[in-house]
Amino acid sequence: MTLLFGIPLSVMLGQLLLGLINGAFYALLSLGLAIIFGLLRIINFAHGALYMLGAFAAWLGLNYLGVNYWVALLLSPLLVGAVGMAVERHLLRRIAGEDHLYGLLLTFGLALIVEGSFVKLFGVSGASYPMPELLKGGHNLGFMFLPSYRAWVVVAALLVCIATWYMIERTRLGSYLRAGTENPKLMQAFGINVPLLVTLTYGYGVALAAFAGVLAAPIYPVSPTMGANLLIVVFAVVVIGGMGSIMGAIVTGLAMGLIEGLTKVFYPQAASTVVFLVMVIVLLFRPAGLFGKEA
């Protein structure tokens, strides 16, 4: 058996693959945060709650309306995205241009209200979302047993991340978006409806969170606190990647998943803190983050 740092190579491969799967979730969530921060300059603390809403929308749809997983994967982000757009239009818009703190407090407050109401309604034990038939079971890769669903999570998350990156960096709509970030007044003078663009962007970022929520539903318990637990790590990922950097969020998300995966083998006790350790080191040497532009 080949050993790497005293650990069999096969075990290492398995752990790296698992890290990649977790990284895919981080990437998806931090991407949404990065987009929202990039255009709206809002530190969206409601992101975790919206991720939870996405999972619950799928669960409620299945149990009360018979909506299956694949439909929910499309419908739930649309629904939660619409909620996000309403929030942007009626609440966030009022504090646009104010200090970052206002946005942070507003979204944090919203998250507390939403999560509190769900605890009241559904309790904290969480509910179970059944695995879709098509993705039950798994494959023996030789070095580990890989459940099909987890493989699907990586593929789906990466596809969505890359599509989003392409849309923002390589299309006309994306160029409007980026220009709107640089100079909204000028864009408006060119006849672009910037407020609409802002609403749509927030809606899209939120929809990404909801999409991640639906992806997570069959693996993790669908519970009101599922988002709150994840949010802080995801923020650390965004900070490491560089606030507002699209590619930074994706790459860092995956990388942090891998680093966390390795920590779970070598020193599991530190698994929940290693991301913050990396954050501290990165901030010391590159205050704007790995992919951020120095101000």
Partner 1 sequence: MKVFKKTASAMLVSSLIAGTAQAQVSDDEIRIGYLADMSGTYRDLAGPGGLEALKMAVEDFGGSVDGKKIVVFNADDLNKPDVGANTVRQWVDERNVDMVTGLVATSVVLAASKVVEQADKLALISGAASSSITNEYCSPNHIHWTYDTYALANGTAKAVLAAGGKSWYLLTADYAFGHSMEADISKVVKEGGGSVLGSVRHPFPSNDFSSYVLQAQGSGAEVIALANAGADTVNALKTASQFGVTQAGQKLAGMVVFLNDIHAMGLDVTQGLMLTTGWYWDMNDETRAWSRRYFDRFGRMPTMAQAGVYSATTHYLNAVKATGSDATATVRAQMAATPVNDMFAKGGQIRTDGRMVHDMYLAQVKTPAESKGEWDLYKIVSTIPAQQAFRPLADSQCKLVTGKVAQN
Distance between CA 54 and CA 51 in Å, rounded? 5
Asked if residue 17 lies in contact with residue 155, where contact means CB atoms within 8 angstroms, the answer is no
Of residues 235-294, which lie at the interface with partner 1 (CB under 8 A)? 261, 264-265, 268-273
Residue with tokens 């803190």: 273
Counting residues that bind partner 1 (by CB under 8 A) gives 39
How are beta strands 138-140 and 145-147 bridged, if at all? antiparallel
Closer to partner 1 by Cβ: residue 141 or 189:
141
Asked if residue 30 lies in contact with residue 47, where contact means CB atoms within 8 angstroms, the answer is no
Distance between CA 275 and CA 198 in Å, rounded? 31
Of residues 110-139, which lie at the interface with partner 1 (CB under 8 A)? 116, 119, 123-128, 130-131, 138
- Kindly state whether residue 220 participates in binding partner 1, applying the rule CB under 8 A: yes
- Kindly state whether residue 2 participates in binding partner 1, applying the rule CB under 8 A: no
Q: Give residues with Cβ within 8 angstroms of 104, minimum separation 6.
A: 42, 43, 45
- Kindly state whether residue 9 participates in binding partner 1, applying the rule CB under 8 A: no
Closer to partner 1 by Cβ: residue 11 or 75:
11
CB of 145 to partner 1, least distance (A): 5
Closer to partner 1 by Cβ: residue 113 or 270:
270
Distance between CA 60 and CA 66 in Å, rounded? 9
Closer to partner 1 by Cβ: residue 144 or 192:
144
Candidates 150, 160, 253, 275; binder of partner 1 (CB under 8 A) is 150
Asked if residue 26 lies in contact with residue 233, where contact means CB atoms within 8 angstroms, the answer is yes
Q: Which two tokens stand for residue 213?
A: 């929520």
Candidates 169, 175, 229, 266; binder of partner 1 (CB under 8 A) is 229
CB of 91 to partner 1, least distance (A): 25
CB of 292 to partner 1, least distance (A): 26
Instruction: Give the amino acid at 85.
Output: M
Distance between CA 216 and CA 208 in Å, rounded? 12
CB of 15 to partner 1, least distance (A): 6
Candidates 45, 149, 202, 211; binder of partner 1 (CB under 8 A) is 149
CB of 129 to partner 1, least distance (A): 9
CB of 269 to partner 1, least distance (A): 5
Inter-axis angle of helices 194-216 and 226-241, to 10 degrees? 120
- The distance from CA 170 to its chain's CA centroid, rounded to whole angstroms, is 22
Return the closest-CA partner of residue 258 out of 270, 273, 275: 275
- Kindly state whether residue 200 participates in binding partner 1, applying the rule CB under 8 A: no
The DSSP bridge partners found for residue 284 are none
Q: Which positions lie near partner 1, rule CB under 8 A?
A: 11, 14-15, 18-19, 21-22, 116, 119, 123-128, 130-131, 138, 144-145, 147, 149-150, 219-221, 223, 225, 229-230, 261, 264-265, 268-273
